[in-house]
Structure formats: structure tokens, C-alpha cells
Amino acid sequence: MLDVTDATFAADVLESDVPVLVEFTAPWCRPCKAIEPLLLEIGSEHGARLRLAQLDIDVNLGVPARYGVLSLPTVMVFVAGEPVEVVHGAQPRRRYADAVARALGS
């Protein structure tokens, strides 16, 4: 999973040629840690068709503010620089997998 920052978000996420699943997280967020293995599984299922990234909201304040991230975990899937799917809170694996499938057009 790629660590992105306010400084690298545009290049790593918005300008990506493949959809990017971004987990907004923080080191103290236990639900964030709980869903990470699920997200990694989903990422491995899609290979090069999907990029996984995480952004620490404690260190990077600009991007979360721009996208209205108010709770953790928040997972967004970006396609062509736009957020197309948002999942708030720790959810079952299926919820993340469905969001990715819709974003990939499956």
C-alpha cells in the first residue's frame, strides 16, 4: 500500500492512470488497522488494475479537508481524478469489494 501525503496526492492519486483506493487513516485508529488486511486482499485480487494508497490524516490535513473526511476509517475510490465511491467506517469486506467493482466497471 502506497503512503501518500498532501504533497504527493495529486501525482499519486488524481493523475493515476488506474483507479486508486485511498484509505484515510491514523496510527491510533484501530478500525483502520482492522480493515487494512481486507483492502490488501481486494487490491491483490485486482492486480495492476487498482492502486492502493493510504493517507495519515494526523500529518496531512489538506486532502482530508478538501474531501470532507470527518471520520475514520474513510475509504474513497478515485477514477480519473474524481472520487466515485466513498465508504465510511469499518464495513464488511463485501462493501469495499463492491465499491471497487463498481469503480472498475465490473
Q: What is the CATH number of the domain that holds 43?
A: 3.40.30.10
Domain span at residue 25?
2-104
Give the model's pLDDT for residue 22. 98
The pLDDT of 39-56, averaged and rounded, is 96
Our answer to whether residue 55 is catalytic in this structure is: no
Q: How many residues does the chain have?
A: 106
pLDDT 10s digits, 64-84: 999 999 999 999 999 999 999
Q: Report residue 70 CA to chain centroid gap.
A: 14
Set of cell numbers at residue 11 = 501525482
CA–CA distance, 47 with 86 (Å, rounded to integer): 21
pTM of the model: 0.95
CA–CA distances in Å: residue 71 to residues 53, 57, 100: 17, 10, 20
> Which residue is it, cell 485511498?
22
The catalytic position among 13, 32, 42, 76 is: 32
Our answer to whether residue 5 is catalytic in this structure is: no
Q: What's the structural domain count of the chain?
A: 1
Given a contact cutoff of 8 angstroms between Cβ atoms, the answer to whether 27 and 83 are in contact is: no
